Structure 1
């Protein structure tokens, strides 16, 4: 599959922000207001309530109000984050060069210049994907004793870039805030986002999408951002990282890691 590279860097960067949410009534306002307050305003955002049992949808709808850049939708049945990311992306990202930004519905952007920083990076048409550092909302006991917060992620080593060993590397470094161009996301085979039963993976959506895109982009088109741009809410009792779900999530991740590597993506000029 090939795409025509259209943006020569002179067009303004357009962001398509996708917020998958479930049982997020406590945090929906903070998430959305962190996006609404951005100094860079050329974006559209979709906040998808995954059939929550609380009032996530009502809270989000009230916060957004009449702001035409935002849409709030509610699933008719329970859907997991990866499927909601696919649905949301198809609704809000229109152009191949749009930059998709994932902000989970219970997390938020670290300050009001996050999109401004990302826009500065994506004005370069050679940038297709970025990942970076984030801060957890709550520090662990070890971090408290150290007196500082641990970095959320680190950049992949050069040899991982060189040989595209993302699936083999023991650490998943491509953390929030994750952003990438629509044409790169569209190049992922839909079948590679689905489990043996034909449905989208219930967990591990970050690995299912990022591994193929990292492999297709190659280091030339990837940027790591060391500055903290994202707050990860590890205080949510329904987080995928809660202990009772880790084994199941690891099984999904190992399935994804065992999939064939993607080849570098070639764009027509």
Structure 2
């Protein structure tokens, strides 16, 4: 089993060395790492280059255009050219894996559970987040992920063949979906939300080419994969991820809080995915 580790980077120079060190110390060695730098203005690229130069498993991609987190992740996965059974592991540049046996533990989980994806438990400053829980069985059985409180948190991993089934149009928001999200808030009687959504500018929540949303990438692409994987989406209780801080996000002239909520609401209102049977 091969792991493809994707690490989105923007101005994370102070945290990157620790991220790279724990990756190099993994006792399971069949992996590659792709750092995608999203036009950092600090010395993030220099830190990466200095710490990966002796290990051919590590790669640095310097983006030429601003992609934000969603576009950064997608572009790096494409550059990695994974095979269907490869497992993608998402580790933000300012975060890190929690121990040296994370990948070997994941290999055991995928082998024994025959799962398509995992989500799990993370800690911050050594304390496990209290919201780290698995979905009840009935949620996966009846495909109710869009109607249940969000639980698919770090560490997120998934088979490439599952990722490849996502409709790329669901990784962005069209102008029609933008207008629909505003109308939905009004029709639901959420006047405060409607008033604030009207202030969120379309160009502030998607990339300049309109191919990706700027943030909420976890829900944008994890939600479809949860629905497609169903019972083969596995919650891991053991802490595998150290969460450092929330990265900065540029929403132009739009309010950050409401821009994030807008993207999230739009993602949840998209058409539901059906369970996929890869055994056929």
TM-score range, shorter chain: 0.7 to 0.9
2:219 to 207, 210, 230: 207
Q: Which structure is higher in helix share?
A: 2
How far, CA to CA, are the matches of 2:161 and 2:174 in structure 1? 26
Compute the RMSD of aligned alpha carbons. 1.8
> What is the alpha-carbon distance in structure 1 between the residues aligned to residue 128 and residue 169 of structure 2?
38
Which of 118, 122, 130 is matched with 1:130 structurally? 118
SS in 1 for 2:121: strand
Q: Is the 8 A contact 2:96 2:242 kept in 1?
A: yes
Shift in CA distance, 39/222, structure 1 to aligned 2, threshold 3 Å: same
Partner Cα distance (1:84, 1:15) in 2: 18
Alignment of 1:1-269 (within 5 A): 13-124=1-112, 126-137=114-125, 149-169=128-148, 171-196=149-174, 198-219=210-231, 221-234=232-245, 238=248, 245-269=256-280
| Superposed displacement of residue 149, structure 1 | 4.8
TM-score (normalised: structure 1): 0.85
Aligned partner of 1:142 in structure 2 is none
Asked whether the equivalents of residues 39 and 65 of structure 2 are also in contact (C-alpha less than 8 Å), the reply is: yes
Indicate conservation of the 8 Å contact 2:122/2:129, yes or no: no
- Contact kept? 2:228, 2:274, Cα under 8 Å: yes
Superposition deviation, residue 36 in structure 1: 1.1
In structure 1, stretches of 5+ residues that fail to align are 1-12, 139-147
- Post-superposition shift, 1:245? 2.4
Say whether the 8 Å CA contact 2:171–2:221 is kept in structure 1: yes
Please identify runs of 4+ aligned residues in structure 1 that moved more than 3 A.
none
Is the Cα contact below 8 Å between 2:215 and 2:249 reproduced in 1?
A: no
| Higher-Rg member (1/2) | 2
TM score, norm. by length of structure 2: 0.82
- Distance apart, 1:89 and its partner CA: 0.9
